[in-house]
Amino acid sequence: MMSNTRPSNTGRAPGAASQDAAPGPRGMAVRYALALLAGILFAGFCALGTWQVKRLFWKLDLIERVEQRVHAPATDAPGPAAWASITQQTDEYRHVRLSGTYLPIFNTLVQATTALGSGYWLMTPLRLADGSTVLVNRGFVPKREGIAASTPAGIVHVDGLLRVSETGGGFLRENSPATQHWYSRDVAAIGASHMLTNVAPYFVDAKAKSETASDAPVGGLTVISFHNNHLVYALTWFALALMVAGITWWIVREDKRRRARRRAGTQESDHAGQD
């Protein structure tokens, strides 16, 4: 006599339903690792975005302070006693004045690109009454020839902006003191190349019309510009953080849906096997 009973499961091993419903140890380890990675990326991107916001407010404050220095009344240029405390953050673009005698024999040309085209900055040492020397960027000249002829003689009064020394050289080009080819206004190197002593660690960009000769260098071409892309950077980092959070949420949701479908399919198979 044949039995009417049917198998209670269509070849499914005991415990298969529970295996479909919940991942094994290896699957759990992978999920924890991915969750940890997502958390690290999210926190890292948020930290970078927050740092860029802080940099943004710092840059805006710096721009405001520089604008105040530029438009403030001129004060005496710092003397030797104050040289050690001069920094770019506290002194760059200060409006200063100084008096002395130019030393045109030590004129130095530094390659420059300006609104007037390519040429040179004319740097001339100014010997002050106390014996110290300050390099003055008298302005732009288009060529190397004839630069000494227009140098004013006697005591001159210079009004301009304090600039911190530019060390190193230009982009992919190094200063060559031996051949007097300069790509940055490195006052220490320029002073040393001419064997000058007691040279200030800054130079002064002379303002426009400080010299009236027809062949005089053109002053007042200082470009006061600050790169301020911090807001864009901050938004980029925060966007990446949101992307990580969104992708993580989508993966978790799809994983839950997939596991739910597996459980539903297992239960239907079990019910079909029991009928």
What is the DSSP track for 137-189? Answer: EEEEESSSTT-STTPPPSEEEEEEEEEE---SEETTEE-BTTTTBBSS--HHH
Decide: helix, strand or coil at residue 78: coil
Pair 121, 143: CB distance under 8 Å: no
> 20: Cβ–Cβ under 8 A, 6 or more apart, which residues?
259, 262, 263, 265, 266
Pair 169, 163: CB distance under 8 Å? no
Of all residues in the chain, what percent carry a pLDDT higher than 90? 42
Beta bridge mates, 111: 120
Instruction: Look at residue 17 in the predicted model and tell me its pLDDT.
Output: 46
Q: Is the pLDDT of residue 25 over 90?
A: no
Q: Which residue has the higher pLDDT, 90 or 215?
A: 90
* 203: enclosing H helix or E strand: strand 199-206
Contact present, 107 and 135 (Cβ < 8 Å) = no
Each residue's pLDDT tens digit, 5-21 = 544 444 454 444 444 45
Residue 65 confidence (pLDDT)? 72
Note whether 248 and 39 are within 8 A (CB): no
Query: How confident is the model over 152-160, as a mean pLDDT?
Result: 91
Which of 152-166, 200-214, 254-268 is the least confident region?
A: 254-268
What is the rounded CA–CA span in Å between residue 87 and residue 97?
Answer: 18
What pTM, to 2 d.p., does this model score? Answer: 0.63
Q: What pairs with residue 124 in β-bridges?
A: 136
Average pLDDT, the chain: 82
Amino acid at 14: P
Tokens 């000249």 belong to residue: 141
